[in-house]
Amino acid sequence: MASFSDLALQYIAGEWRPGRGSWDIIDFNPYTGDKLAAITVATADEVDEAYRAAERAQSAWARTNPYVRRRVFERAIRVVEEREAEFTELIVAELGGTHLKAAFEIALVKEILRESTHWATRTEGRILPSLTDGKENRVYRLPVGTVCVISPFNFPLFLAMKSVAPALALGNAVVLKPHQHSPMTGGALIARIFEAAGLPPGLLNVVITDIAEIGDALIEHPVPRVISFTGSDKVGRHVATVAAAGFKRCVLELGGNSALIVLDDADVDYAVDAAVFSRFIHQGQVCMAANRVLVDRSVLAEFTEKFTARVRALRTGDPADPEVQIGPLISPAQAESVTAMIEEAVREGATPLVGGATVGNVVPPTVLTGVPEDSTLLAREIMGPVALLIPFDGEDEAVRLANATPYGLSGAVHTADTERGVRLAQRIDTGMIHVNDSTVADEPLVSFGGAKCSGMDRLNGEATVEAFTTTKTITIQHGRTTFPF
């Protein structure tokens, strides 16, 4: 695979080239602080060039036999399989991801590529009946044209690929803008994968830039018809507002504040395992992570003892060490923000059961209890390795506490009675919730998306087809219609 310097370029119309902006995005290793690369930002003119290249290439791609399109994704899977060790090194270096996190993300990438081989042949039209004798109503399903994908920093390879691969498979072109903290993993690496897989030039373009350089040019441009954005709800609101002015469709996958609920009949040991994974995978920088662990008071003492013991045993440090489970947060700003949240909660009266001092960008795994119910920390997304342990008395209180947040992305319920878990899950205002499992779950056929401030529209399965295609109706009158005048 290419070196960091080879990935520190724009990819427009099938060409690798430096940006023409007047400043650079500096990509750092979040654990060591070492500079990985400097990427000169793309300008608004280059964004236009990327969209025009996509527009030119897309019509021929849409007419390409879907079985031929499918071969690109079959080859892309092989590229990922053959270069998994190199991709792991990049995830560790650029994201501070542990080896466990890298394996988890790459496995998800391979699954979305496998599913994309099927999306290429999954667009079905319909013939519908008519009120008029002799009339035939044909409804065709067509690609939307060009899709803009804006990816986040936490799982950038997977979360970009989750939109890029199906959009391409369904006959669209794509312009991808990665987050400034993950320009290579979330952008250039994806272009390299598809270039090696034989995707025709111009269909995928990667622009590494920032709103400070291009303003809203990426969203306002007339070419893209769908904007797929993954990130914070604050930025998501802005994206949706700008897109609405151009009558563009938005798929927004935003933040979360998930609750993992442990009922009085739960398997406590299993619930502890699920809670540790749900909260601390990739240092808690996961939108589906269980910020809040709600535990029935009847099992609180047992759960707390076992949960805190597991959290204390988590190994922190250099993510390049395969034994490390908790690495750095993505940036000094993020580490400082999470540390400040912990300190504020303690000032408000919370008790730290597990914790320690932040070292560099490594925030130690922390468990807080006794967080006041009016604390802002309970209602917000933390994006760090901090678990809030909250007792409850009975199901009604569990539901009230779980719903006391503007977010609604994921969740989990642990109980010995599956149908009891389903009944409680139906009362939680969230787009996804899992009975006797982690809050972090994503399967390519299962609808993914949130309620409330956690997003708009859905991806995966049939929802992906709806997101990246449109319908066109053509009617045929066999014989003559009788008109009223």
Beta strands at 434-435 and 411-414: parallel, antiparallel or unpaired: parallel
Q: Between the CA atoms of 242, 246, 250 and 252, what dihedral angle is there, to the nearest 10 degrees? A: 0
Per the listing, tokens 């927004």 go with 252
Rounded mean pLDDT, 203-228 = 97
pLDDT at 5 over 90: no
Report yes or no: 420 and 326 within 8 Å, Cβ to Cβ: no
pLDDT at 225 over 60: yes
Report yes or no: 274 and 293 within 8 Å, Cβ to Cβ: no
Rounded mean pLDDT, 286-315 = 98
What does the alpha-carbon distance between residue 244 and residue 277 come to, in Å, rounded to a whole number? 38
Choosing from 111, 253, 381, 395, the catalytic residue is 253
What does the alpha-carbon distance between residue 92 and residue 103 come to, in Å, rounded to a whole number? 11
Strand order in the sheet with 469-477: 126-128, 135-143, 469-477
- Neighbouring CB atoms inside 10 A of 421's CB total 22
Rounded mean pLDDT, 43-51 = 98
| pTM for this model (two decimals) | 0.96
What does the alpha-carbon distance between residue 28 and residue 329 come to, in Å, rounded to a whole number? 12
pLDDT at 291 over 80: yes
What does the alpha-carbon distance between residue 158 and residue 254 come to, in Å, rounded to a whole number? 15
DSSP 238-279: HHHHHHHHTT-EEEEE-----EEEE-TTS-HHHHHHHHHHHH
Task: Say what percent of the chain tops pLDDT 70.
Answer: 100
Average pLDDT in the chain: 96
Residue 2 pLDDT class (50, 70, 90 cuts): low
Write out pLDDT tens, residues 394-405: 999 999 999 999
Helix (H, G, I), strand (E, B) or coil at 68: helix
What does the alpha-carbon distance between residue 164 and residue 459 come to, in Å, rounded to a whole number? 12
Q: Give the pLDDT confidence score for residue 1 in this predicted structure.
A: 46
Please report, as a single letter, which amino acid is at residue 158.
Answer: F
Report yes or no: 267 and 419 within 8 Å, Cβ to Cβ: no
Print burial letters for 272-307: b (CB count within 10 Å at least 16), e (below 16): bebbbbbbbbbbbbbbbbbbbbbbbeebbeebbebb
Rounded mean pLDDT, 229-244 = 96
Write out pLDDT tens, residues 444-457: 999 999 999 999 99
Domains of the chain by residue range: 4-254+454-473, 259-435
CATH of domain 4-254+454-473: 3.40.605.10
CATH of domain 259-435: 3.40.309.10
250 among known catalytic residues = no
What does the alpha-carbon distance between residue 26 and residue 335 come to, in Å, rounded to a whole number? 18
What does the alpha-carbon distance between residue 261 and residue 249 come to, in Å, rounded to a whole number? 35
Report yes or no: 7 and 189 within 8 Å, Cβ to Cβ: yes
Q: Give the pLDDT confidence score for residue 482 in this predicted structure.
A: 85
148 among known catalytic residues = no
Write out pLDDT tens, residues 126-162: 999 999 999 999 999 999 999 999 999 999 999 999 9
pLDDT at 179 over 80: yes
Q: Give the pLDDT confidence score for residue 123 in this predicted structure.
A: 86
What does the alpha-carbon distance between residue 54 and residue 167 come to, in Å, rounded to a whole number? 12
Q: Give the pLDDT confidence score for residue 33 in this predicted structure.
A: 96
Rounded mean pLDDT, 38-54 = 98
Write out pLDDT tens, residues 88-130: 999 999 999 999 999 999 999 999 999 999 999 988 899 999 9
Q: Where are the alpha helices (DSSP H) in 426-460?
A: none
Choosing from 148, 250, 287, 453, the catalytic residue is 287
pLDDT at 40 over 90: yes
Residue 52 main-chain phi, psi, to 5 deg = -70, -35
Which of left, alpha, beta for 428 (phi over 0: left; psi -120 to 50: alpha)?
A: beta
What does the alpha-carbon distance between residue 176 and residue 22 come to, in Å, rounded to a whole number? 21
Which tokens is 35 given?
């500079």
Which residues are CB-neighbours of 153 under 8 A, at least 6 positions away? 95, 179, 181, 182, 186, 285, 330
pLDDT at 414 over 60: yes
Report yes or no: 354 and 366 within 8 Å, Cβ to Cβ: yes
Beta strands at 10-12 and 15-17: parallel, antiparallel or unpaired: antiparallel
Report yes or no: 428 and 439 within 8 Å, Cβ to Cβ: no
CA neighbor of 454 nearest in space, from 257, 223, 188: 257
